[in-house]
Structure 1
Amino acid sequence: MEANAEIPLPVDKLSIDLIQKTKSSISDPRYAVLVSSGSFNPPTYMHLRMFELARDELTAQGYTVLGGYLSPVNDEYKKKDLISGMHRIRMCELACKSSSFVTVDPWEAKQSSYQRNLEVLARIQSSLLKSGIFDKGSLKVMLLCGSDLLERWGVLKVWIADELRTICKDFGVVCIRREGMDIDKIICNNEILSENKNNIISVDEIVPNQISSTRVRSMASRDRVRFNVGGQLFETTSTTLANAGRESMLGALLDESWNPGQPEYFLDRNPACFSVLLDLLRTGALHIPANVPQKLLYREALYYGLLDHVRNAKWGPLDGNRLQLADSVPGRAPGDGTAIRAAPDGGCCVAHGSVVHVYNWMLEERKPISLDYQQVNDVGYIDADSIVITARERLGRAEGGMAIFSASTGELQHRFRVEHGQQPKSFTAGALSLAGPDDNRIFSSCKGRLNEYGIGMWDLNTGQQGDFFYELPGCSLGDADILQWLPSKNCLMVATLFPRTDNCFIGLLDFRAKTIPWSWSDAGIVVTLEDKRVLHAIAMEDGHSICVINQYEDLGFIDLRAGTGTNSAGAGVRWSSRSKLMNRKVPFEESCYPKLATHNGQLFSCMNDSISVFSGSEHVLTSTLSRSYGGSICDFSIGGDRLFALHNEDNVFDVWESSPSPII
């Protein structure tokens, strides 16, 4: 290292041209230069990624980010396994070749003694101000770091309080939050950080990445690992084990506490399953031999902490044109299936009379939810761990309504109440709808004893009733078959359809104004059994139209941008004939009516014993899903990248999956 080396600050990657552009367009421009000082032993992708994240956040806050510097620490830092500063400078230079605005400042590493962060920041600021391009008020040289460094400021004794105070107050800090760390709590627990919290900018890593120099060095020094699993030897690399993730048992072997001197590790587990899981970590693909039962593999994957890896590799993103029958699960009570609902994680639940049977994504049945002979009307998932159920009121008993249950234990977690005039009322809850992942509202159709008919709305955070939309003349809200929240319209679609009522009604409810700004109905006309009757409806994903289906499996589309529908059969409905029945007879002997669903631009409809898949803007029939037994499909549901179809006669449900994308 050079004694008191005078090394010019590299400025070739600074965006000096932005200064003139901002001066002409912004009256009070603010410029930022980012500096990250560290070992870089070696530099990793995440070191450069930190600069990208910080630049995006500062730009959003009105700064013009001119560039960034990697400043390798001096050799006198004396960190264990620290290689020569010259080598680290060269590695950083090679790493920065891929960046348009990050470069290396070798000054710190080339000094004859250890340099503190404040000295590094002050030197870069001084060099930039001497150029005459900036004035001190418009330029901010900011320390870029991870939240682990911020945490160490409050723990280690090597940090000088005045130095930290000056860095925070006069320069500023941009901190990238590492997974599992609470930056607000770190700041709150540190007096200096708390005093200067307005000068500390925290940035979340949207896609967490656990790459670190320590882990890279650890893997490079002990890359080969041997296991004795049930008497069978396996040899792999620490790189492969890293694919398991730090929270898994195998990934934990990469922690600093692991003893690399141990020649092999003995695991008294199933070697055949270990072979499958190890191959999954190597290739990303899951191949289960015929001699390995899936349930056994799932149990072993749970032990190693690899269950999520198995689930993600078992099936790919759902595509209606690539679906294959993966499994069929026999029901518990033939002939009375009410509904099937897919869980976000690939499991499902099936409502049979007064019981809801719950299955995890491995299709293992959990403890059923029993409502003590109350008829289940509808069911849905709030999340993978919570199920909401609507039920019919039992005469003479203040029961029924809607409640949340645990998906794993079946225990009641919360019962929703309906109040009228600040008095709780017993009610029958019917169709339900969740507003969405970022909206905590839940809706249900309600029928009370004293004509308290309408649609209730509750807050999932508080569990309390938030609003109630009373039934208006001409629209049967309490008997609604379908509820669906439309975010683009900020309205709730309500559909009451044949055969529940003689006439079909579809409307949009505006809870804020207590109005129905759009509706369609076939009321006021006489229809015969041969006429097309709307039996199911769903709002399309673009929010511009509603798709309906009749007894012939003809699809119809109603434009929501048009005016309210008139009282004529099919008024405003653009029918597209897809009938498979040449005589066009209504199959009233069938107990199952058609259903609709949408997913990623595709439209799905079930009729009799098959499901049709329509693709493209013209909704062309592209695939048909069917099987040879089970009878008609009474309900189907899509979620967790799976399609579940519930058959009526044998009460069996099918599981359809798309194969995972090929590993190249």
Structure 2
Amino acid sequence: MPPYSQSIPISNGFSQNHHKNNHHVSTNIITIDVGGQLFQTTKQTLTLAGSKNMFSNLFDSSEQQNMINNIPFIDRDPELFSILLSLLRTGNLPSKAKAFDIQDIIFEAKFYGIDDLLVQSQSNPSQFEAFDLEKSMVLPLSGRDSPSAIATTPNGSIHVSHGSKITSFDWSLQRKSTTLTSFAAIDSLLALSSNIVAAGATDFSGLQILDLDLGFVRQTLNWENVTKSSSTVQAIGVSPEFLFTSFESGRRNSNSIMVYDLNSFKVVSEIANNEIFGADLGSAIPSTKLNWVPSLNLLMASGSHSGPSGVSGNIKFWDLRSGNAVWEISETIDCFADIAVSDTLSAIFKIGINSGEVSYIDLRNFGSLNTWSCLGDARKINNVKKEGVGCKIEAHGNQVFSGKQGELQLWSEVLMGSSNNGKDRIFKKNILGRAKDSGGNRIASMGFGGNKMFVTRKDQQCVEVWQSSVRRF
């Protein structure tokens, strides 16, 4: 009789070795008994799990089993083990994993010490397929408050502010915690790590660094303005080294951008300090969006203001070394309702507040051109209905996503090669999802983490999760 009975199921693809004397071949093959079911794999496969897990102990056991035929036994669920073994072999969960609760798989992965591999497989940005996104689930929030801001992490976890609370979901989108803050409402939220966030409000002084796991304020950062009044937060941004915060004085007559060291939160510098003099409303515009542009090594700050003559705004690129603005774009015609910058596409994108149309400026002509190229109907730029009010736009990778009322739009560049002769670039619009996905509610925010896109809508107490249908767990 062979070393193990054929009546015991052996996973497909496993090699069997019935020749004990073929030592140089068999030493690479490891047989494991999990819950009464035999599995065979190789040392190379188990090595992919790393060194600090229970699989590393099987190497010594495999040497012993070749001499005394002692097969290591693990008293666990064999079906879940089969799924995790597929994860080790391919780097992805097999399709049969859909039949199991993700929490069961997580629990089992933690037992074997390979939960990090599971996180990587389920939050890999390379699995983000923009053209195949579908709404896969909804994350409900407690209470009556709608989300006011979201903050995502690279591994696909998300923090959501609603009212005075911040609710966190881990990478598997299970509710992790809800933290009560001192804010009446949170307007700006940025994830600094899986459990540390920076939070601020337009009607509450100071930027707070919060530890959501322990539920306390690690540090509060304030701007000492000339009027000695409170300093409310208008926007937060980050680079690999620095944390940026746009402050406005409580009297709304001065504003500034503070630059902090990302590790120590000590002040590095202050830029864009403005004070109002007389009727100079232009200097009163605080930056309400901060974006770091790696290829330019510059900080893009933008803000708008509604005055007697309509909505005006500006976009400035700041050099942190000199503290000077090296390029400025003034917005007076069809000012932006929202703005985004794509380092991958080398362009700034906006949604015009009058037209509701998407336009762009090519950053490859940085500093020499500040004329917008409209991707839609340019005749709407003087639209008195202001179709772009409340519209949102965000860039992710080489794609641009816009929310016009309840509709999600995806903009992607069409490569024309030399046939375009250096003329305006061509971008194509696609509509994401189905009509029932929108529900008629205006899109309030968009965020991206791992292989997921997160969407919130006005007056809805939940977060939509959009994932690629072919990759969805």
Question: What is the TM-score with the length of structure 2 in the denominator?
Answer: 0.77
Structure 2 equivalent of residue 405 of structure 1: 210
Q: Which one of the candidate residues 240, 243, 261 is aligned to 1:442?
A: 243
* Cα distance in structure 2, aligned partners of 1:219 and 1:404: 56
Q: Which one of the candidate residues 324, 341, 353 is aligned to 1:515?
A: 324
Q: Which one of the candidate residues 234, 239, 253 is aligned to 1:430?
A: 234
Alignment size in residue pairs? 419
Structure 2 equivalent of residue 365 of structure 1: 175
State the structure with bigger RCO (CA 8 A, min sep 6), 1 or 2.
2
- Contact 1:488–1:543 (CA<8 Å) still a contact in 2? no
Structure 2 equivalent of residue 647 of structure 1: 457
Q: Which one of the candidate residues 199, 208, 213 is aligned to 1:389?
A: 199
1:609-620 alignment runs, 5 A limit: 609-617=406-414, 618-620=426-428
Report the residue type matching 2:109 in the other structure: A
Question: What is the TM-score with the length of structure 1 in the denominator?
Answer: 0.56
- The structural deviation recorded for 1:483 is 1.0
- The structural deviation recorded for 1:511 is 4.1
Q: Which runs of 5+ in 1 are unaligned?
A: 1-216, 395-399, 526-531, 566-570
Structure 1 equivalent of residue 7 of structure 2: none
- Inter-CA distance 340–499: structure 2 relative to 1 (3 Å threshold): farther
Report the residue type matching 1:297 in the other structure: I
Q: Structure 1 residue 557 and structure 2 residue 366: aligned?
A: no
Structure 1 equivalent of residue 274 of structure 2: 471
Quick check: which one's strand share is greater? 2
- The structural deviation recorded for 1:536 is 0.7
- Inter-CA distance 235–540: structure 2 relative to 1 (3 Å threshold): closer
User: SS of 2:467's equivalent?
Assistant: strand
Q: Which one of the candidate residues 443, 454, 465 is aligned to 2:256?
A: 454
* Cα distance in structure 2, aligned partners of 1:650 and 1:248: 43
- Inter-CA distance 635–218: structure 2 relative to 1 (3 Å threshold): farther
- The structural deviation recorded for 1:562 is 6.3
Deviations 1:552-591 (A, max 9, x none): 54111234546688xxxxx822212169x9xx78477x9x
Deviations 1:574-617 (A, max 9, x none): 212169x9xx78477x9x82222222221111222232111125
Structure 2 equivalent of residue 343 of structure 1: 153
Of all paired residues, the percent bearing the same amino acid is 22
- Inter-CA distance 276–487: structure 2 relative to 1 (3 Å threshold): closer
Structure 1 equivalent of residue 392 of structure 2: 595
User: SS of 1:344's equivalent?
Assistant: coil
User: SS of 2:117's equivalent?
Assistant: helix
Deviations 1:198-246 (A, max 9, x none): xxxxxxxxxxxxxxxxxxx9995161312232xx413222333333232
Q: Structure 1 residue 296 and structure 2 residue 98: aligned?
A: no
- Contact 2:58–2:72 (CA<8 Å) still a contact in 1? no
Q: Structure 1 residue 483 and structure 2 residue 290: aligned?
A: yes
Deviations 1:244-277 (A, max 9, x none): 2323322442258985457334434333322322
Deviations 1:138-167 (A, max 9, x none): xxxxxxxxxxxxxxxxxxxxxxxxxxxxxx
1:100-499 alignment runs, 5 A limit: 220-221=26-27, 223-229=29-35, 232-239=36-43, 240-254=45-59, 260=65, 261=68, 263-286=70-93, 287-289=95-97, 291-314=99-122, 316=124, 317=126, 318-394=128-204, 400-419=205-224, 426-435=230-239, 437=240, 440-449=241-250, 451-469=253-271, 470-471=273-274, 475-476=282-283, 479-497=286-304
Report the residue type matching 2:331 in the other structure: D
- Contact 1:393–1:401 (CA<8 Å) still a contact in 2? no
* Cα distance in structure 2, aligned partners of 1:303 and 1:219: 30
Q: Which runs of 5+ in 2 are unaligned?
A: 1-22, 415-425
- Contact 1:350–1:356 (CA<8 Å) still a contact in 2? yes
- Contact 1:417–1:425 (CA<8 Å) still a contact in 2? no
* Cα distance in structure 2, aligned partners of 1:414 and 1:269: 45
CA RMSD after TM alignment: 3.6
- Contact 1:491–1:509 (CA<8 Å) still a contact in 2? yes
Structure 1 equivalent of residue 468 of structure 2: 658
* Cα distance in structure 1, aligned partners of 2:230 and 2:372: 38
Name the stretch that deviates more: 611-620 or 624-633: 624-633
* Cα distance in structure 2, aligned partners of 1:410 and 1:258: 49
Report the residue type matching 2:53 in the other structure: S
- Inter-CA distance 621–296: structure 2 relative to 1 (3 Å threshold): same
- The structural deviation recorded for 1:508 is 2.0
* Cα distance in structure 1, aligned partners of 2:284 and 2:170: 34
Q: Structure 1 residue 625 and structure 2 residue 433: aligned?
A: yes
- Contact 1:637–1:645 (CA<8 Å) still a contact in 2? yes
Larger radius of gyration: 1
